[in-house]
Amino acid sequence: MARTFCAQQKDFFTLKTFQDLGLPQPLVASLDAAGFSTPTKIQIEAIPQLLKGRDMLGIAQTGSGKTAAFGLPILAAIMALPGRPRPMSARALILAPTRELAVQIDEAMRSFAGSAKRISTVLVLGGVSRHAQIQKIAKGVDVMVATPGRLQDLVDDGKVWLNETRFLVLDEADRMLDMGFIGPVKAIAKGIGPRRQTMLFSATMAPNIAQLAKDLLNDPLRVEAAPQGS
């Protein structure tokens, strides 16, 4: 009992920085520039474990700081890789249910990446021309943020190869399933194959999410988080 109490007190009073979480200096510098001085709870719990390569199941509400929790470890890993991504491939794939969310994630990833090392990104969305997306992908990208339907179309047409992808994020997975994306999500994950680190986030743990997590995650770290400041 006393030990638990002490552990909680220590957590509460130890102010962690992004550097303490094991992130490389260039990322810490761009976080500083973006005004991120103190990591949120989910960032503190997730980042060190994700840097070690663990899979993760996050039950977290909007506003808890999930984008940086999954995005920073991915960028750290990519920055440590030699060379450039292979043509037609993406080193990391982040799936989001809507165009708006995908746009926000892409913006956040580019702001975290800063100018320290050139990280290439592409947004793959339905409802806009495929041409520019296909041209960017043809060169190979570090980070692809996509909605499942359009990405599945491009995969089916042979415009993207997922076999080089090493990081897969399913953001707001509950909404993706509600929108009927279970088929594309599963097909995309299967196309990537087992050599990947997978992170799944959902606001709820409905049975269909639990099943998806069981299918896609390997011994995941489970993290729960309320919105920032609550």
Q: Binding residues for Mg ion, per CB under 5 A?
A: 66
Q: Please choose which of Mg ion, ligand ADP, none residue 53 contacts, taking the beta carbon within 5 to 8 angstroms, the exact cut-off set by kind.
A: none
Sheet with strand 141-146: strands edge to edge: 121-124, 141-146, 90-95, 167-170, 197-202, 56-60, 221-225
Considering the complex, state which of residue 19 and residue 104 has its C-beta at the smaller distance from Mg ion.
104
The footprint of ligand ADP on this chain (CB under 6 A) covers a number of residues equal to 14
Considering the complex, state which of residue 102 and residue 137 has its C-beta at the smaller distance from ligand ADP.
102
CB of 216 to ligand ADP, least distance (A): 19
CA distance 129 to 201: 29
CB of 208 to ligand ADP, least distance (A): 21
CB atoms within 10 A of CB 91: 22
Q: How long a stretch of residues is the chain?
A: 230
Q: Which stretch binds ligand ADP (CB under 6 A): 36-44, 124-132, 142-150, 161-169?
A: 36-44
Helices assigned H by DSSP within 114-216: 130-139, 148-156, 173-178, 182-192, 207-216
x/- string (CB under 6 A) for ligand ADP, residues 39-78?
A: xx--x----------------x-xxxxxxx----------
What one-character DSSP code corresponds to residue 143? E
Considering the complex, state which of residue 66 and residue 166 has its C-beta at the smaller distance from Mg ion.
66
